[in-house]
Each structure stands twice: as C-alpha cells, then as structure tokens.
Structure 1
C-alpha cells in the first residue's frame, strides 16, 4: 500500500487563475498595440510600391506626378509627391522618402514609428 505525502494536489501542475489573468492581460495589451501597428506597415508597403513605380519617371515633376497618381489609387496620405527626394544615380532615378507615425497608447504614452525607404 502506497501512502501519498501531500495527497493528489501535490501531483497537479498548471497555471493558477491569477497567472492566467496576468497572461491574458499581457497578451491583450500586446494585441492592441499590434492591431494599431499593422495598418501603418501596410501603408508603408503601399508607399514603397508607389515610390518604385515613380522611379520609372525621367524628370522630377514626372516622378512626383506618377507618385501622386499611385497615392490616389492606393489611398495613403503619410507621404505626398512633394515630400519625395528624387536623385539620379548613374542612369537610374532613385526615389527616397521618410516619415513618422505616432500611435497613442494610453495617457501620455505614445509609440513613435519612423519609416524610411527608397526605390532601387
């Protein structure tokens, strides 16, 4: 006959209710921040795609016009054609941009995302 020292409770393992609540709160907070960051990443990808398309132009006004048309189609407003830096490197046109997005978290806390990119 085997006698258990602490009974059945000594063999049980797992997470307590308080631990479960803590994990749920942490996952919830991270989820809220990720849900606010993902649209800015999608917007960045649209801007990068538009800048690569605009690099097909040969003059600065043409590059900005191509970018503005792509901006109207993809519906983003963080960067406009006038904000682009257009350079000629060798025989290629290189379009670069940078901008910041601010996401309000709570109270006085903000998350600042800095995006930059270039076509080439």
Structure 2
C-alpha cells in the first residue's frame, strides 16, 4: 500500500520581476497624473472666472478687465481677457474660450490637451 504524502500545493504570488513592472507602471501613471492635475485645476479656475466676469460687466472691455482681475487672483496663465470670445444674444452675454496646453513628459515626448469652455447652457 502506497501512501501519498501531503497535498501538493501550487505556490501563488508575484515574482520580483512582476512587482518591479507593476511599480514602474504605477509610477508612470503617478507622474502623468501629477503633471496633468495643475492644468485641469487651471481649466476649472478659468470656467469660474468667466462665470464671474459675465456678471461683472456689460461691455466687452468690462468683461475682459473683470476676467483679467480674476486671472491675477487665481494664478491663471493659460489665457487672458483678450483671448475670450464674447458674444451678445439680446440681453444674454455668452463667453467662450479655447486653448491648448502642452505638457512635456520625457525627452521629446509631450502630451497636448485641448481645453474649451463656455458660459452657454448646454
């Protein structure tokens, strides 16, 4: 009578090489997020600034000046008041903007993001 000793168990887990690859991928994602986050925050600051500028003035010059003041306080560097597209539909004033942000990653590799926004209700 032969007896089988113990149960054969398969080893489970991650190898050192697998761990290094996973950490490298997570590191790259972390760096990308760290570089994109400030531009996203700036985009939302611009949206708030144009909403505020829309209520602050009635002429194109007043709206641009109000935006420039908001941009100074909010550290907005991507656009200025002169870059805003301001249109009037009767008594309703619509302000829109569009710009590109180039984020250098590694060497010649960059990330180009197109940002656009408007006060128009969609």
Structures share a fold, TM > 0.5? yes
What residue number does 1:35 align with? 34
Report the CA distance between 1:14 and its aligned residue: 1.1
Runs in 1 of length 4+ with deviation above 3 angstroms? none
Unaligned runs of 5+ in 2: none
What is the CA distance between 1:91 and its match in structure 2?
2.1
Structure 2 CA distance, aligned partners of 1:25 and 1:74? 35
Q: Which residue of 2 aligns with 1:92?
A: 92
Matched, 1:23 2:34: no
Gaps of 5+ in 1: none
CA distance in 2, matches of 1:59, 1:4: 86
The structure with higher relative contact order (CA 8 Å, sep 6+) is 1
Q: How far off its partner does 1:12 sit?
A: 1.9
**Number of equivalences:** 117
In 2, Cα distance between the equivalents of 1:49 and 1:2? 73
